[in-house]
Amino acid sequence: MMRSISTFFFVTLGFGHSVFAADVFFHMQGGSGNRQAFFANTLVDDRTPVSMLMGSIEIKQINVTVIYENAQQPEWAEMRLQFECISKVDFGKGIPEPAAWTDPVKMRLGEGGTILRRSDLKIESTPAGTWQTASSPVLLKAHKLACNPDEVNAAVRASSTGKTLDSALFNTELRKIGFTEDVTLMNGSAPEFLELAWTRLWAGSKRPDPSGKWAKQATPEEKAAAMAKVAEIQKQLGELTQKTKQAYEPKIQAAESKFDFDKVAAKLRNGREMNRTESQMLMVWQGRLEEEVASIVGRPSMTATGNVHFLSYGKDYDTRAAYDYKGGTYVTNGVYWSCDIQFVTAPDQQGAFRVADVRIRADSNMNLSANDACEGLLHVPGN
């Protein structure tokens, strides 16, 4: 049944929408009178707390809208589903094997969820929930969408050709993360999903109407005026979206890439306390390619551990000498100082190694600061 419904929705919704659809009709369950339709947005948020950075588990949040047929349920629920996901960042410890599709998952309801009450069509906030183990088909599917955002977004882009959405290609791409049932790409919102459910999914079923809103039929003139207004808004929005996309998409992609790498860098540092000089150097070097380090600072001594590179530089000065004083007592005279700087690099999503940490160790018998001991090594980009 899911396949035939998906095909129908592709025909009715796929054309005329933005080429980068961001919503997926991915599940329906329940018998007549108690059916539920599930829609997910492909934009996934990272909710990993600081205490879990550098760990093997990340917390991902996906927005899911449920449309209910049952009169005892709300019209819809918009939920912020949070899942535990295996981290795909490798810092030399290896990435754990992904769980089997049917393995239970850990999830909770996040903050910010709402329902539309059926009785009076008013929005009501819903509380966050506690962590629990789940194995229902719908939550297993939502877990895969949440924990594989790169693969899902790549599938969306690959399936967007011109002004059409290729759901067949999208489903082929989703097979890579374990989906066996077809889903459907679309752009929409909770009110649109609600209308689709009652006019297509559950066409012919009696619609509960305690508020009396659905019984009132709009006149042909009202419908025509509303459609004209919607068409004009869509036209203006389309033009604005295209202009905005051309102007800002490269900047947005660069910002997203930087944000993703900032999280990688934070995991690698793992809350390490830094001195003032390290903080200043990291401020200007984080995210820079390791080739830039070599070009500006000089050829480093390079080592690697797992998927992390260490670019090391050092200098020292030592005039110390030991003297025999009064028959066997040795004293040391002279000046000593040393500086070791290590640029730690890790791969970004494209595999390019970028600076994630700068470690500086300075030593001296003259109480020199790191800035003084490392003079000549503290190069910065552009200088």
Q: Which residues pair with 64 in a beta bridge?
A: 40, 79
Choose the weakest-confidence range: 9-13, 31-35, 179-183: 9-13
Mean pLDDT computed over every residue of the chain: 83
Instruction: Tell me if 183 sits within 8 A of 170, measured CB to CB.
Output: yes
Question: Bigger pLDDT: 199 or 232?
Answer: 199
* pLDDT score recorded for residue 91: 55
Query: Which of these, 160, 167, 135, 139, lies nearest to 24 by C-alpha position?
Result: 167
pTM: 0.59
* pLDDT score recorded for residue 61: 95
**pLDDT tens for residues 187-210?**
888 899 999 999 999 998 999 988
* pLDDT score recorded for residue 370: 76
What angle in degrees, to the nearest 10, is found between the helix axes of 167-174 and 149-158?
150
For range 31-54, the mean pLDDT: 88
For range 142-153, the mean pLDDT: 92
For range 263-268, the mean pLDDT: 88
Band of residue 249 on the pLDDT scale cut at 50, 70, 90? low
* pLDDT score recorded for residue 5: 44
Query: Which of these, 63, 145, 49, lies nearest to 112 by C-alpha position?
Result: 63
For range 132-144, the mean pLDDT: 96
* pLDDT score recorded for residue 362: 86
Question: Bigger pLDDT: 92 or 62?
Answer: 62
Gap between the Cα atoms of 364 and 339, Å rounded: 9
Choose the weakest-confidence range: 71-75, 319-323, 366-370, 377-381: 319-323
Question: Bigger pLDDT: 344 or 224?
Answer: 344
Tell whether the model's pLDDT for residue 8 goes beyond 70.
no
* pLDDT score recorded for residue 224: 77
Which are the contacts of 78, defined by CB distance < 8 A and separation ≥ 6?
63, 64, 65, 113, 114, 115, 190
Query: Which of these, 347, 348, 378, 350, lies nearest to 362 by C-alpha position?
Result: 378
Question: Bigger pLDDT: 240 or 347?
Answer: 347
* pLDDT score recorded for residue 248: 62
Q: How far is CA 359 from CA 273, 310, 380, in A?
A: 10, 10, 14
* pLDDT score recorded for residue 80: 95
Instruction: Tell me the domain boundaries of the chain.
Output: 2-216, 268-373
State how beta strands 57-68 and 36-46 pair: antiparallel
Tell whether the model's pLDDT for residue 92 goes beyond 80.
no
* pLDDT score recorded for residue 19: 34
Query: The tokens of 259 are what?
Result: 């944000």
* pLDDT score recorded for residue 1: 40
Question: Highest mean pLDDT: which of 35-39, 232-236, 252-256, 321-325?
Answer: 35-39
